[in-house]
Chains A and B, each alone.
Chain A
Amino acid sequence: MSSIKDKKIIVIGDRDGIPGPAIDACILAAGGQIEYSSTECFV
């Protein structure tokens, strides 16, 4: 398990689970670097 801080982060959120921007807020607060963030929609 690596630290979030040491990696380039790709976020794949889910509209009906945790949306991308909510995950982004967590990653940024943890000092991570977001390369790409998206939210998927199955319906």
Chain B
Amino acid sequence: MDLENQRRVKDIAEANGPENVMVILGAAEGEAAGLAAETVTLGDPTYAGPLTGVSLKLEVYHICEQEIKDQIPEDVYDEQISMMEMVLDVDDIVSEMQAIRDQI
């Protein structure tokens, strides 16, 4: 994850308490989604950014996951996201996200 984004995530989690923060991802690939999810939960696996060695354990989902989709008005989801469900490998993204959440 971009170093500036890591810094902002860290600052917001510290200011509000990690338990009050949720991260929503839009990654194009399962692997990238998993890496971003790992960064905001267990710490930056690439050892490059401010979240290196910082385990925030934030709640994290991809926008295409059912748990999130269910909370969004159908017409808005359809307009903003639905076309990409035909493009992205949603099953792969969900399994990568779940694998990280299982480690928390």
Q: Is there a contact between chains A and B in the complex with CB atoms less than 8 Å apart?
A: yes
- A contact residues, total (Cβ < 8 Å): 31
How would you classify the secondary structure of chain B's contact residues: helix, strand, loop or mixed? mixed
How would you classify the secondary structure of chain A's contact residues: helix, strand, loop or mixed? mixed
A16 to chain B, nearest CB (A): 4
Contact A17 B12 (CB under 8 A): no
Given A25-B76, A26-B63, A26-B72, A18 contacting B81 (CB threshold 8 A): yes
With A14-B27, A38-B2, A40-B2 given, can you name 15 additional A-B contacts, CB distance below 8 Å? A1-B59, A5-B71, A8-B12, A8-B22, A9-B21, A10-B22, A13-B25, A17-B28, A18-B63, A26-B77, A29-B72, A30-B71, A30-B72, A36-B8, A38-B5
Residue positions of B touching A, CB distance < 8 A: 1-2, 4-5, 8-9, 12, 16, 20-29, 32, 36, 40, 58-59, 63-64, 67-68, 71-73, 76-77, 79-81, 84, 88
